[in-house]
Every structure is written in C-alpha cells, then in structure tokens.
C-alpha cells in the first residue's frame, strides 16, 4: 500500500501498517502471528477541496471540511515451512469509521496466500493469490464521490539458476480490477500478463535484469465511460539494474518502454518510457537516507483530450534510529502530473503536489508498536477545482503476538 494515500480513507490504515510491520522481522520464524491495531486520524480537508469551495456536508447541516476517523484492524499470518517448501497466508480485516462523513466509512478486507516452492537448489518460484480493497483518491473522482476499488491477482513465478551468476526467470499473472460504480477515468479491467527475464547476479550481489513483458486485457464498457472499453494489448521492454557500491551505498535504476494498443478505440493508444532511479545511503548504523526519482504512465481519461496520466515524482526520506526501539522519520516529495497525450503537446490538465511528512515510532516491547505522524499536502493545478491543501495527524497502536 502506497503511503501517498495515507491522508485518505483508502489507506487510513497506512499509519497502522507502518506500526504493524515494524516488528515483522522478529515474527518471520513464527508459524502463526496475530496482529491487532487501532489508530486515530485527524484530517482537516477530507475531500481535498479548494479553500473557496462550500462545505461538503452543508446540505445535511454538517459544517466544516475536517473530520476525525478511527481505524481498527485485525490480521494474522501463517508461515509454515515444509521441507524445502514454505506456505504463507496473510489476512487483514479493517474497519474505518468517520465521525461526521459516514459516507466514507469502509470495511476493507485483504489477503495474500503464497506457496514458495523449491525443486532443487537451482530451481524455485512461487504461486500466489491476493486481494486488496481500497478507495479511489477522492480528488480523482468527479463530484468527490466515493468509489471502492477491488483488485484480485493470481500469479506464478519461476527462477532457474543456469550457471555462474546467470538466472532465467519467468512469470505469469491474471489480474482483475473492479469499481463499485462506473469510473470514467479507469473502467473495470481484466488482464493476463506473461514475462520472461534474464538476470545476472555478481558476487557483490549487484544485479542486471532484462525483461520482456506481454499483457492482453479487456476494459469493460460502461454507460459512464465516454471512451467505452475494448480489448487492449501492452508490450513492454525493461532494463533493471542494482549496483551495490559499498556496504553503505546502493543505486537502483529501471527503464521500461511501454507500447499500449486498443483494438476498438485507437485514440486510447499510447507509448512511452517509464522508470525510476533510487539511491540508498546508510552512512551510519543509525541513519538511513533514500533519494528517488520516478516516472509512471497510466491510462486515465478526465476529458476527450486526456487518455493518459504521466506522474514525475522526486522524493527524499530520512530515518534516524535513536535507540534500539525508537526512530524518527521524515519525507518530502514533489509530484508533477500531466493529463493528456504522451506523444503530443495536447494537455488537459497539469498538477503539482508537494508533500511533507514527519513521524516517530516507538516499540516499548517486541510485540507493541506506537506510531505518530504529521503530514502536509498541497496542490496547484491548471484546474481551479483541483487546487487544495490539507493537514493530517495520526496516532496508531499495534500489538503482535
């Protein structure tokens, strides 16, 4: 789950997730682990509205744009090794409740099951199935209404060690994404993907991977989707490299060329290059610095002039471990979004979103974690309806046994 959505009900459990995952390393060898969590979040602009916009609940006698909501969650992890095999099952159920805007209440359920198989020391892989339930970011929806999104995925991977540092990898997946009501920007989608990769792993554990990926999918036609839907294909070529320069420094780079073609609606065709560049620096055992720059391209329709959304994001994060069980975190990011055509100058909208977050985590016991976060987010846009700023504060408690 991306923490970009931590300020929204889709990921109100983000602060809880950070707390729940903190002691995960200590639970890796447990056959069974139970997680309980509770958090409270204060959000002063729940619907990401401009300053001059009317109160969203005014017609129901609700004043203000702010609200407080609680997130309670329960989950368990099964981790069962059998000979050279390992079976995993991770299930989480959450309840999100707002004090004023009850229309945003949510009961997300997620799971992930996996069989990590190994035939020989040279051949291994995984079979997995997962489901995730979230909300679409409220500012992406016309009228700021609620839309639930459910994504289910079944996947298989295989890794064959050929010789020396050379590996041959393969993967296949079947993914279905549905929405609780028609979503103009992204219709319901089902897709099947296959990929083949060649990887070289050096003795230093630096890696270079070349991947070819093929996807065939279907977008479901709905009355609300102006562009309708049809079968589509995506052909991708990817180069992925990780260079471990030293025990304190790691550089990761990825470049992916995507070519998407729609069989019925060629106006939705696009091609372009996505990628990422990440640098991790660990100058001391207590200090971690991570810098990144990424570009993502996704199909997105906000008007007849927009078929894609291009996000260019830069971020910097710092984690300072004060003591054995206490740490401070900070992160700043800027995301530039362009809606329109990748290969032309046609632009339907441009946004710049700046985010700053600070937090602290404390684990008074190996089974207990407390997490506090403060986040500020503001956006400028060529569309006045998309300009907003918001502040979010959260406190979360997690217990694992």
DSSP state of 79: E
240 lies in some domain? yes
**3-state SS track over 281-334:** EEEECCEEEEEEEEEEEEECCCCCCCCEEEEEEEEEEEEEEEECCEEEEEEEEE
Are 97 and 121 spatial neighbours (Cβ–Cβ below 8 Å)? no
Is residue 51 situated within a structural domain? no
Q: Is residue 68 part of a domain?
A: no
**Does some domain include residue 267?**
yes
CATH of the domain at 297: 2.40.170.20
pLDDT tens for residues 107-148?
999 999 999 999 999 999 999 999 999 988 888 887 788 889
Query: What is the C-alpha radius of gyration for the chain, rounded to an integer number of angstroms?
Result: 22
What integer pLDDT is reported at residue 327 of this predicted model? Answer: 97
Confidence at residue 228, expressed as pLDDT on a 0 to 100 scale: 52
Q: Judge whether 54 lies within some domain.
A: no
Strands 166-179 and 148-163: antiparallel
Helices (H), ranges, 119-256 = none
Q: pTM here?
A: 0.87
Averaged pLDDT of the chain: 89
**pLDDT recorded at residue 7:** 36
- Cβ burial, residue 354 (10 Å; 0-12/13-18/19+): middle
CA distance 366 to 22: 9
Note the pLDDT of residue 257: 98
pLDDT attached to residue 29 = 65
Torsion on CA atoms 279, 281, 287, 292, rounded to nearest 10: -10
Q: Is residue 172 within 8 Å of residue 193, measured between CB atoms?
A: yes
Q: How far, in Å, CA of 212 to CA of 274, rounded?
A: 14
Structure token pair of residue 270:
């696009």
70 part of a folded domain: no
Q: DSSP letter at 31? A: S
Segments in the chain below pLDDT 50: 1-27, 224-227
305-317 burial, b at 16+ Cβ within 10 Å, e below that, comes to ebbbbbbebebeb
What is the extent of the structural domain holding 289?
Answer: 76-95+107-390
Give 272-285 pLDDT, tens digit per residue.
999 999 999 999 99
Nearest of 1, 13, 146 to residue 72 by alpha carbon? 13
**Overall domain count for the chain:** 1
Q: Please check whether residue 123 lies inside any domain of the structure.
A: yes
Residue 264 within a domain: yes
In sequence order, which residues have a C-beta less than 8 Å from that of residue 144 and are 6 or more positions away? 47, 48, 49, 56, 138
């Amino acid at each position: 789950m991306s923490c970009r959505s931590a300020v929204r009900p889709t990921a109100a459990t983000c602060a809880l997730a950070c707390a729940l995952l903190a002691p995960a390393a200590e639970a890796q060898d447990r056959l069974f682990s139970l997680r309980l969590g509770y958090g409270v979040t204060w959000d002063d602009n729940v619907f990401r509205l401009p300053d001059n916009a009317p109160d969203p609940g005014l017609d129901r006698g609700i004043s203000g744009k702010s609200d407080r909501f609680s997130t309670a969650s329960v989950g368990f992890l099964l981790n069962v090794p059998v000979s050279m095999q390992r079976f995993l099952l991770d299930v989480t159920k959450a309840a999100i409740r707002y004090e004023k805007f009850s229309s945003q209440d949510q009961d997300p359920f997620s799971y992930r099951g996996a069989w990590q198989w190994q035939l020989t020391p040279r051949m291994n892989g995984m079979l997995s199935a997962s489901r995730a339930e979230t909300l679409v970011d409220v500012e992406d929806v016309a009228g700021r209404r609620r839309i639930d999104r459910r994504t289910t995925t079944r996947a298989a991977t295989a890794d064959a060690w050929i010789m020396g540092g050379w590996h041959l990898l393969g993967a296949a997946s079947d993914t279905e994404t549905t929405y609780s009501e028609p979503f103009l920007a992204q219709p319901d989608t089902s897709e099947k993907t296959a990929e083949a990769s060649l990887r070289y792993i050096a003795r230093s554990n630096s890696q270079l991977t070349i991947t070819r990926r093929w996807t065939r999918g279907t977008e479901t036609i709905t009355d609300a989707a102006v562009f309708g839907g049809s079968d589509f294909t995506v052909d991708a070529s990817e180069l992925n490299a990780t260079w471990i320069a030293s025990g304190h420094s790691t550089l990761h780079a990825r470049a992916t060329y995507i070519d998407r073609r729609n069989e019925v609606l060629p106006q939705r065709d696009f091609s372009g290059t996505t990628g990422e560049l990440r640098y991790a620096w660990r100058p001391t055992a207590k200090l971690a610095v991570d810098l990144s720059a990424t570009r993502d391209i996704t199909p997105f329709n906000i008007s007849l002039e927009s078929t894609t959304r291009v996000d260019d994001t830069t971020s910097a994060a710092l984690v300072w471990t004060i003591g054995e069980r206490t740490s401070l975190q900070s992160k700043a990011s800027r995301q530039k979004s362009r809606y329109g055509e990748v290969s032309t100058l046609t632009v339907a909208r441009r946004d710049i979103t700046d985010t700053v977050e600070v937090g602290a985590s404390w684990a008074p016991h190996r089974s207990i974690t407390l997490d506090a976060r403060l986040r500020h987010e503001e956006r400028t846009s060529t569309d006045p309806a998309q300009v907003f700023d918001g502040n979010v504060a959260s406190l979360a408690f997690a217990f694992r046994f």
